[in-house]
Amino acid sequence: MNGLSTVFIVLGLFLLGGLYSFWKQGMGKSVLVLLGIGSAMCLVAGILRLDVWN
């Protein structure tokens, strides 16, 4: 597992936790959408950078 892929996966999970927290607080939908997109992009980037695809 690469160091950068670990950072991306951890950041994606952190943003996903923030998304859940903001959803429970009743924040605006635009904030939730931005956090969701950012989380999904970080998780996908981290997973694609893993060396299992070669």
pLDDT at 32: 95
Domain ranges of the chain: 1-46
pLDDT digits (tens, 9 = 90+) for 1-54: 688 999 999 999 999 999 999 999 999 999 999 999 999 999 999 999 887 766
What is residue 29's predicted lDDT score, i.e. its pLDDT?
A: 94
pLDDT at residue number 53: 67
pTM score, whole prediction: 0.85
Q: What distance in Å separates the CA atoms of residue 52 and residue 13, rounded to the nearest whole number?
A: 20
The pLDDT, as a whole number, for residue 54 is 67
DSSP 43: H
Give the integer Cα–Cα distance in Å for 41 and 52. 19
In terms of Cβ atoms closer than 10 Å to its own Cβ (0-12, 13-18, 19+), residue 11 is: middle
What pLDDT, on a 0 to 100 scale, did the predictor assign at position 1?
67
